[in-house]
Amino acid sequence: NRLMEELDNIANTTSFNGKQLLSGNFINQEFQIGSSSNQIVIATIAASHTSKMGLTRFETGGRISSSGEVQVTFKNDNGKDVFQFQK
C-alpha cells in the first residue's frame, strides 16, 4: 500500500540537526531548558513506522463460512490486550 510506504519513508527520513526523530533512534535526548545546567528535560520519541503504530489490517481473499461455533482471538504485541470474538 502506497500510503503505508510513505508513512514509513517519513519515519525513516525526518531529522533535525542530523538526528532522526521518528525512526526510534531518538532515545533519552537531553535538552537544557533553563539557565542552570541541571534544568533539563529528557525526551524519547518512539518509532513511528507503520509496523509500530498499533494499526491492524485484516483481509481475506474470499468468504469464510462455518456451520458450528467460531472464535477468533487477536493479541496485542505486548500479549496483554486480548480481543475475542465469538459466534
The answer to the question of residue 16 being in a domain is yes
H or E segment at 5?
helix 2-13
Question: Structural domain of residue 3, as residue ranges?
Answer: 1-51
The answer to the question of residue 61 being in a domain is no
Share the mean pLDDT of the chain. 76
Tell me the per-residue pLDDT of 33-66, one tens digit each, with 9 for 90 and over.
888 888 888 888 888 888 877 645 554 455 555 5
Is 87 part of any domain? no
77 part of a folded domain: no
Task: Report the number of distinct structural domains present in the chain.
Answer: 1
User: Is 86 a member of any domain?
Assistant: no
Please check whether residue 28 lies inside any domain of the structure.
yes
User: Does the pLDDT of residue 76 top 70, yes or no?
Assistant: no
d(CA 4, CA 49): 9
Which three cell numbers mark 44? 524519547
